[in-house]
């Protein structure tokens, strides 16, 4: 059956932790993790609540394949209403804590209310306890993790915690587990802080033994691992270079957003690429990259472990910065680098360490710094606003100083913590915010890759590549090659990727498997693990159901067709160089067809017929 069939409901206001049975009727419709938790949220909470009020709920959810021997089966998600966007937030993380929650005997943990004082949840199998967290409140993620381990004296506990940025109200704070894996987007950590919940500490020893057909499941997972091994991306490219394998590729095709999307190619891309991370530094003849790393059950191992030159930032005297920690991945390297015009690999790595240590989304942080630099170059903000800091594009000093200030919620870092939409609105230039629904873009320019522009505009959680990674098709030719500069067929492509990804996220596995796997590889694993019928037809419909349920949440939260758009820069300012030179994104051509394919009316609202067909009526 794959599920533990148990939910832990933690009422922080009352200080209670109560077990309850998982709603299996909903599980049969939404599977787990992203889909199932969204169903719980929709049924239990008014989507109009203030995201930072006690009325907002936060769910940590696993999928039925989490904790199993399915490759990458270590995922969990944090689902809530996001303060950065006001929309549904579902932030997915790897590492080991997702599997630990499952092995402790729980499918999900629902947090509601607000504790009168800082607390953390200690969950040891069937024994949940809320513990006073005053000794770690105000501490960074790394400091809190260290003190929790000292307190519990168990090297096998797994910890997810928030940093100072969340406590200070940074709207893009995440939840960090295993020191450098993150449920990083949309401000889910900010919600956690608003509830006075500092951390979740888990020790699970039960294992996952409730598989429907163990023999078939073993056969299906073994076959799936072989497919991953034999694939050039999942078997070679990602293990060697991580997602940073994309840096030079995307730059060459003219889709590398640069200097707050003013340009589409970055002259310094090769200096901050995956290849550059392998090259010895002149100062100590050691490379930035130490090794790759894997999350629970992962056979890909795309994670990066890096060091920085200890003499490069003399103001830093923390020994942990001289050791190895979570290194740059493509999205972080782009946001901290190309988007700000900084090509100093050590500076980017240091800023990324700060994001890990204090729980900030490096995409939103870097993109907001880029917007601030744009405002500075335009003369809208000055040194008087920034405390004397010169915010010119390309300034490594500005980037790293703002990372320190934002982590602590000090000085101009408080403005950066607003996110780029609110920052640009505050200074009267909202058009300079490169966001959708208030969430900052990831690292692909929608003028050079048309389909991803439609995916950004329609993403339920705001600008996101992982809700419909059309880059796979438009750039990499997976599962088939489409022309990135053409709009024809892109609505169908976006919808297919969005629905399939909803299934992957709800199963408890990593979306990176889909560089090699299709649903044909995933369906046998779900079918063998989970009770009931999980045919291909059912999974495809389920993915569509999840997408529409998220849309319903957003509509009830006050979002509408007007939020399915892109910034003026992408719609009106043509790309200056590269294959897309002279092109803007043609969203107006693609969006109406997308709505039709979705079964939505011209205003982007699901029709009664669509609701009936998907069981949402």
Each residue of 266-283: pLDDT tens digit? 999 999 999 999 999 888
pLDDT in tens, 41-100: 999 999 999 999 999 999 999 999 999 999 999 999 999 999 999 999 999 999 999 999
In which band, very low, low, confident or very high, does the pLDDT at 318 lie, cut at 50, 70 and 90? low
Across 240-257, average pLDDT: 97
Same fold, 6-203 and 244-252+258-433: no
Q: 26-43: string of b/e by CB count within 10 Å (b at 16+)? A: bbbbbbbbbbbbbbbbbe
Across 520-529, average pLDDT: 98
Q: Is the pLDDT of residue 520 over 70?
A: yes
One of 3.60.9.10, 1.10.340.30, 3.40.640.10, 3.40.50.970 is the CATH number of 6-203, namely: 3.60.9.10
> What is the percentage of the chain residues whose pLDDT exceeds 90?
95
> Tokens representing 185?
């987007």
Is 483 in contact with 451 (CB distance < 8 Å)? no
Res 312: pLDDT: 75
Fold classified for 448-614: 1.10.599
Q: How far apart are CA 75 and CA 56, in angstroms?
A: 23
Number of Cβ within 10 Å of residue 235's Cβ equals: 18
Number of Cβ within 10 Å of residue 433's Cβ equals: 25
In which band, very low, low, confident or very high, does the pLDDT at 210 lie, cut at 50, 70 and 90? confident
Q: Is the pLDDT of residue 249 over 70?
A: yes
Radius of gyration of the chain (CA): 22
Q: How far apart are CA 516 and CA 227, in angstroms?
A: 7
Instruction: Parse the chain into domains and list their residue ranges.
Output: 6-203, 244-252+258-433, 448-614
Q: How far apart are CA 336 and CA 44, in angstroms?
A: 38
Q: Residue 50: CB partners within 8 Å, gap ≥ 6?
A: 56
Q: Is the pLDDT of residue 320 over 80?
A: no
pLDDT in tens, 371-394: 999 999 999 999 999 999 999 999
Res 376: pLDDT: 98
Q: Residue 410: CB partners within 8 Å, gap ≥ 6?
A: none
DSSP bridge pairs for 9: 18, 110
DSSP string, 221-281: HHHHHHHHHHSHIIIIIHHHHGGGGGHHHHHHTT---BTTTTBS--TTGGGGSHHHHHSBP
DSSP letter assigned to residue 606: B
Q: Whole-model pTM?
A: 0.97
Res 315: pLDDT: 47
Res 209: pLDDT: 79
Q: How far apart are CA 492 and CA 510, in angstroms?
A: 23
The H helix count followed by the E strand count for the chain is 26, 17
CATH, range 244-252+258-433: 1.10.569.10
């Amino acid at each position: 059956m794959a599920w533990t069939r148990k939910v832990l409901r933690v009422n922080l206001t009352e200080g209670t932790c109560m077990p309850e049975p998982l709603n299996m009727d909903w599980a049969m419709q939404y599977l787990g993790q992203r889909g199932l938790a969204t169903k719980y949220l929709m049924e239990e909470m008014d989507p109009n609540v203030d995201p930072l009020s006690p009325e907002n709920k936060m769910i940590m959810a696993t999928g039925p394949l989490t904790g199993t021997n399915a490759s990458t089966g270590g995922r969990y998600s944090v689902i809530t209403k996001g303060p950065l966007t006001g929309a549904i937030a579902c932030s997915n993380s790897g590492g080991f804590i997702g599997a630990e929650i499952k092995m402790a005997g729980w499918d999900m943990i629902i947090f509601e209310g607000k504790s009168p004082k800082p607390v953390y949840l200690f969950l040891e199998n069937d024994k949940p306890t809320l513990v006073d967290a005053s000794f770690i409140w105000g501490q960074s993620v790394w400091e809190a993790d260290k003190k929790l381990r000292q307190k519990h004296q168990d090297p096998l506990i797994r910890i997810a915690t928030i940093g100072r940025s969340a406590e200070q109200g940074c709207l893009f704070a995440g939840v960090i587990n295993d020191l450098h894996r993150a449920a990083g987007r949309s401000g889910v950590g900010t919600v956690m802080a608003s509830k006075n919940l500092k951390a979740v500490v888990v020790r699970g020893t039960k294992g996952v033994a409730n598989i429907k057909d163990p023999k078939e499941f073993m056969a299906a997972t073994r076959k799936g691992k072989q497919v991953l091994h034999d694939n050039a991306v999942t078997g070679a490219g990602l293990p060697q270079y991580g997602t940073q394998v994309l840096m030079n590729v995307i730059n060459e095709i003219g889709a590398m957003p640069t200097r707050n999307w003013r340009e589409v190619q970055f002259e310094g891309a090769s200096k901050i690429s995956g290849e550059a991370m392998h090259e010895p530094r002149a100062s100590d003849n050691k490379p930035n990259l130490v090794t790759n790393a894997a999350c629970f059950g992962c056979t890909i191992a795309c994670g990066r472990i890096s060091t920085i030159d200890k003499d490069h930032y003399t103001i830093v005297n923390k020994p942990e910065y001289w050791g190895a920690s979570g290194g740059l991945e493509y999205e972080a390297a782009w946001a901290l680098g190309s988007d700000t015009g900084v090509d100093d690999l050590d500076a980017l790595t240091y800023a990324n360490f700060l994001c890990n240590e204090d729980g900030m989304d490096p995409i939103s942080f870097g993109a907001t710094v880029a917007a601030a630099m744009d405002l500075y170059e335009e003369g809208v903000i000055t040194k008087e606003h920034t405390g004397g800091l010169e915010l010119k594009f390309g300034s490594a000093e500005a980037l790293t100083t703002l990372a320190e200030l934002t982590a602590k919620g000090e000085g101009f870092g408080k403005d950066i913590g607003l996110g780029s939409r609110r920052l640009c609105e505050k200074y009267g230039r909202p058009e300079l915010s490169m966001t959708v629904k208030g969430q900052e873009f990831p690292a692909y320019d929608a003028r050079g890759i048309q389909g991803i522009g439609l995916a950004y505009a329609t993403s339920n959680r705001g600008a996101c590549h992982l809700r419909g990674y059309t880059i796979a098709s438009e750039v990499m030719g997976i599962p088939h090659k489409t022309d990135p500069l053409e709009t024809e067929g892109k609505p169908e492509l976006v919808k297919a990727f969005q629905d399939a990804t909803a299934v992957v996220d709800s199963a408890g596995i990593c979306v990176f498997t889909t560089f090699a796997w299709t649903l044909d590889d995933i369906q046998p694993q779900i079918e063998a693990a989970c009770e009931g019928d999980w045919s291909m037809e059912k999974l495809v419909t389920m993915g569509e159901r999840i997408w529409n349920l998220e849309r319903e949440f957003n509509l009830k939260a006050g979002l509408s067709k007007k939020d399915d758009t892109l910034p003026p820069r992408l719609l009106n300012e043509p790309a200056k160089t590269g294959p897309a030179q002279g092109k803007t994104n043609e969203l107006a051509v693609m969006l109406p067809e997308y709505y039709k394919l979705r079964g939505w009316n011209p205003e982007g609202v699901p029709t009664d017929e669509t609701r009936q067909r998907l069981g949402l009526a």
